[in-house]
Amino acid sequence: MSDETNQSENTATAKPRKRRIIRRLIFFVLVGLFLFLLPVISETYFKCAICAMRQTEQRVTGAGFLISSWERPTPSSDWYQANIEPEHDHVWVRGGYAEGLNCFGRTAAMWQDSSLSTGPYSWLPLSRDKQIRIYQKSPDPQQARAMFLQLAHHEPDGSKAYAAQQEIIRRLDAWIRSDMEAPWPFEKF
């Protein structure tokens, strides 16, 4: 009878131990998934409306605390600095795309939303080379600069300023489609 008692006690203690191991395993799997799938850092991308330099900001997701920020020159920003203005205050325009990074720094989520954008400028089909060409083809680079600044931030829908922005975008788009061979579509800003 003592063998049967020992065996039943071993079986009785083995079941709770097995359950604890399974619970711990499930817990660690869930924590691992949480760390791997949950974005804890949001990475937001900006472009200078004047020279097209890039800026990236990393913030704690949800809390908004800035972790780091860095700027990255582009061929356009280098050209602008060398040919038009050696120094200027950047006008950062937020793009409509952001990423969420997990604890390991890997992309866990991506957001693309027009509400992330600060202005219609970020949606213009301007590559770095195209922005340089606009400066080069304009009769006065300061006019092109003023145009880019006018498009840097959304104006309220229905306002005169918004209608002016839409007209600038329409003219600029038509001029770009003509391979910038048509006359400069703006008199002054």
Q: What is the pLDDT of residue 69?
A: 92
46 in the same domain as 123: yes
Q: Give per-residue pLDDT as tens, 123-135.
A: 676 776 888 999 9
Residue of 151, 118, 119 whose CA lies nearest to 134:
151
Residue of 149, 119, 147 whose CA lies nearest to 134:
147
Cβ-Cβ contacts under 8 Å for 55 (sequence gap 6 or more)? 45, 46, 47, 48, 69, 70, 71, 72, 90, 92
Q: How many domains does the chain have?
A: 2
- Check pLDDT > 80 for residue 44: yes
What is the average pLDDT score of the chain?
83
Its domain, for residue 141, covers 41-177
32 in the same domain as 57: no
Considering the domain boundaries, does residue 183 fall inside one?
no
Lowest mean pLDDT among 52-56, 88-92, 106-110: 106-110
52 in the same domain as 32: no
Q: What is the pLDDT of residue 12?
A: 57
Q: How confident is the model at residue 22 (pLDDT cuts 50, 70, 90)?
A: confident
Lowest mean pLDDT among 19-23, 32-36, 43-47: 32-36
Considering the domain boundaries, does residue 188 fall inside one?
no
Please, are residues 188 and 174 in contact by the beta-carbon 8 Å criterion? Answer: no
Please, are residues 50 and 88 in contact by the beta-carbon 8 Å criterion? Answer: yes
Nearest-5° Cα angle at 172, 167 to 175:
130
3 in the same domain as 81: no
71 in the same domain as 30: no
54 in the same domain as 33: no
Q: What is the pLDDT of residue 146?
A: 92
- Check pLDDT > 80 for residue 160: yes
